Structure 1
Amino acid sequence: MARNKLVIPEARQALEQFKVEIANEFGVDNPQSLASNHTGYIVRRLVEMGEKQLIENYKNK
């Protein structure tokens, strides 16, 4: 069970799916085995995705 609580608990399934996708990129079969350095990569990817989404939303206004 995770130690950290999600701000939006309903997002847990999406977060778990994202972990699986990142694990696949690293060639890891079990997402729970991702090391802390991979966690940093995941956070960077999430920030990058958020930035792109904000830019697209701004352009479409």
Structure 2
Amino acid sequence: MAKNKLVIPEARQALEQFKTEVAHEFGVNDPRSLASNHTGYIVRKLVEMGEKQLINNNKNN
């Protein structure tokens, strides 16, 4: 499996933590064992988190 370079290399730890949290939501102990069909769920979760951040930022301004 090829590793993609992150735009911000320091984000690797946060990304790995996120993958671990999503894996636990699926009841999987090892995030590397998540199948590619879970990718859509992960992307939706990331978009949802981003939307919430934007809404909260706009409320505070």
Same fold (TM over 0.5): yes
Residue 24 of structure 1 and its aligned partner are, at CA, apart by: 0.3
Runs of 5+ consecutive residues of structure 2 not aligned to the other structure? none
Q: Distance in 2 between matches of 1:17 and 1:25?
A: 13
Name which structure has the greater RCO, CA cutoff 8 Å, separation 6+: 1
The amino acid that maps onto 2:54 is: L
3-state SS of paired residue (1:5): coil
Residue 2 of structure 1 and its aligned partner are, at CA, apart by: 4.7
1:18 aligns with 2:18: yes
Structure 1 stretch displaced more, 2-11 or 13-22: 2-11
Work out the percentage of aligned pairs sharing the same amino acid: 82
1:51 aligns with 2:51: yes
Q: Distance in 1 between matches of 2:41 and 2:4?
A: 18
- TM-score, normalization by structure 2: 0.91
Runs of 5+ consecutive residues of structure 1 not aligned to the other structure? none
Task: Give aligned pairs, total.
Answer: 61
The amino acid that maps onto 1:25 is: E
1:9 aligns with 2:2: no
| Aligned alpha-carbon RMSD (Å) | 1.2
The amino acid that maps onto 2:48 is: E
